[in-house]
Amino acid sequence: MHQELMYIDGEWSPSTTGRWREVRNPSTGNVIAEVADGGAQDADRAVAAARRAFDHGPWPRLRPEQRRDTLLRLAEALSARTDIFIRLVTEDAGCPVRLTEMMQVGTPIGQLQDFAEQALLLRPTGNTIDHAPTFGISEVHREPIGVCVGFTPYNFPLFMNIWKLAPAVAMGNTVVLKPSPLTPRAAGELARACEEAGFPPGVVNIVHGDIEVGERLVEHPDVNKISFTGSTAVGKLVMAKAADTVKRVTLELGGKSPSIMLPDADAEMVVRGTLFGSMVHAGQGCVCTTRMLVPSARYDEVVDLLRERASVIQVGPADDYASDIGPVISRAQLEKIEAFVASALEEGAKILVGGRRVEGLGGGYYYEPTVLVDVRNDMRVAQEEIFGPVLSVIRYDTVADAVAIANDSIYGLGAVVWGTNVRAARDVAARISAGTVWVNDFGAVSSKGPFGGFKQSGIGRELSAEAALEYTEPKHIYTVLDQELEQRPYGLVGMEWE
């Protein structure tokens, strides 16, 4: 039985609690590893290591080019471990191996090169200011914040750990990562790659655990910034607890992304794109297109096509290349999905496809790709995040109605607009309250474009220079270049007036 340890101050260790937590493969339900189940004392150890490394270590004082080069070495070390990461993510998260290879592993490793170049953002910028009667130089310096904590979810374990780690260390900070206890092993392998790349002890720390560890990290007075990805409910608690010490906070939270089919859209493209967006990784993505908005005049046409396309989606073990979608993460999540579908039926929705557990696949946690029709936007299934392979189809009469329905949500993370008239589709996209709006596509994420949400989908952004700068404190330094006291507004203080 593999045991995943803590990585603190450059050393591997079990938790101070002596406890271990089981890690299960959601494709089989079998225990595949144990992870150290930490407590508050382990959180303290990790923060203390990160604090020492920031206050006294070399990392924050390196030249930006040196930090960039270390991150580039990390990219090489991760690339050499591609096969290991594919196996770990497939086993731990239950993500189908085809998707894991294409997106879960290859994409974030590729993005590391862009993260590395962000280190150069710390070069100061300045302007000469002629502020008569004096003149000088006004400079903006960016300095690292300090100790940054990253909370990462179970669904994209390598992706999210890189997104938290790379911009923070590129800006000269030190980091404590707390991965999900359901999918901890990718973070451990990431730490091994950091060792190989040459990060000094204490710059990167991995502490495992659940609520006790999380609460202590959020409340710890020596932590300067929290970056949390997870549910909106937990994000609100993080924000409240971080307020006591006025920590900087980035929150990437829930979503209920609409997929808006305009009247002139290609039905085949919309159906395929929306099904992919809603069912990818068994619907376990905050940006999944879980609401499909269809013009009333084309509703029957689209429903028939949805029935045909959704019925052939292949459900199976994550390590099977034939599987389109794999299991959900746990039995508890499976039961949560069942409760959502039951509530939709009670409120008047109908099942077009799916709506049940998948039998005959052993002890894994499988749910059929499910399409619900006759859904109203005020139903619970259309308002709350499910995190399962469930698509709600909602009809609308006018484009103005579609925009209103799309925006009638506490969330604003992502959205898709489909239409053959690209100008009209872009006009609709501009009216959607969401951090990312795709036009005639779903899921393209660039490391050069900010990712995050409006409303209760979060605060701050991941990716891009904009996100990297959230790991810095701006400092304005104004230097007057002349030495004429009489020219200063205080130069005549105490002088005798004639």
Strand 411-412 relative to strand 454-455, pairing: antiparallel
Determine the 3-state secondary structure of 486 from DSSP: helix
Contact in structure between 220 and 242 (CB atoms under 8 Å): no
> What is the 8-class DSSP label of residue 367?
B
- Residues 474 and 309: beta-carbon distance below 8 Å: no
φ and ψ at residue 430, rounded to 5 degrees: -65, -20
| Distance between CA atoms of residues 11 and 202, nearest Å | 9
C-alpha distances out from residue 310 to 272, 306, 374, Å? 9, 6, 17
Catalytic hit among 4, 91, 252, 462: 252
Asked if 286 is an active-site residue, the reply is yes
Rg of the chain over Cα atoms, rounded to whole angstroms, equals 25
Kindly state the tokens that stand for 33.
Answer: 């590893």
CB-count exposure of residue 143 (10 Å: 0-12, 13-18, 19+) = middle
CA pair distance 81, 189, nearest whole angstrom: 8
How long is the chain? 498
List 101, 286, 288, 368, catalytic entry: 286
Active-site annotation holds for 288 = no
Phi, psi angles (nearest 5°) of residue 39: -130, -170
Which positions are annotated as active-site residues? Answer: 252, 286
